[in-house]
Amino acid sequence: MAKKILVIDDNNDLLELLNEALTAEGYEVECASHVDNIYECVRNAKPGMVIVDYILEGINGGELCHQIKINPRTSHVPVVMITGYPRVLESLGSYGADHLLTKPFDLNELLNVVNAHFLSSTAVA
């Protein structure tokens, strides 16, 4: 599995922080502040994981996660959703996300989630 991560967030400061932290961990990172077609984006990026913010301009990240998870070509891609609105997700569901992190989150917690995923996927391969 590719050690590539697609990060989708409309907060450029958070995108920069995650890009730096994940790159320092040895991951290839592709960042996007918005996505018009999630299938095309995932197909082109070929990530081993997607990290998406729940609240995005124009569409919520939960819907992007749902679109990834219902498509047979992308459903295998793990999705970590980050949110400042955990109560909303509790009432609406996780949209199929593999992991949820509440903002403000500890960067080490995110790195642990990412590293654990990639370690377990290489152990299986």
Reading phi first (left if > 0) and then psi (alpha if -120 to 50, else beta), residue 26 is in left
In the predicted structure, residue 15 carries a pLDDT above the cut 60: yes
Q: Using CB atoms within 10 Å of the CB of residue 33, give its burial: 0 to 12 exposed, 13 to 18 middle, 19+ buried.
A: middle
pLDDT recorded at residue 122:
60
101, β-bridge pairs: 82
* Domain housing 98: 4-124
pTM, full prediction = 0.90
Count structural domains, the chain.
1
- What pLDDT is attached to residue 56? 87
Residue 29, domain CATH: 3.40.50.2300
Contacts of 18 (CB under 8 A, 6+ apart): 7, 9, 29, 31, 51, 110
In whole angstroms, give the CA distance from residue 124 to residue 122: 5
pLDDT digits (tens, 9 = 90+) for 53-96: 998 888 888 899 999 999 999 999 999 999 887 766 666 667 88
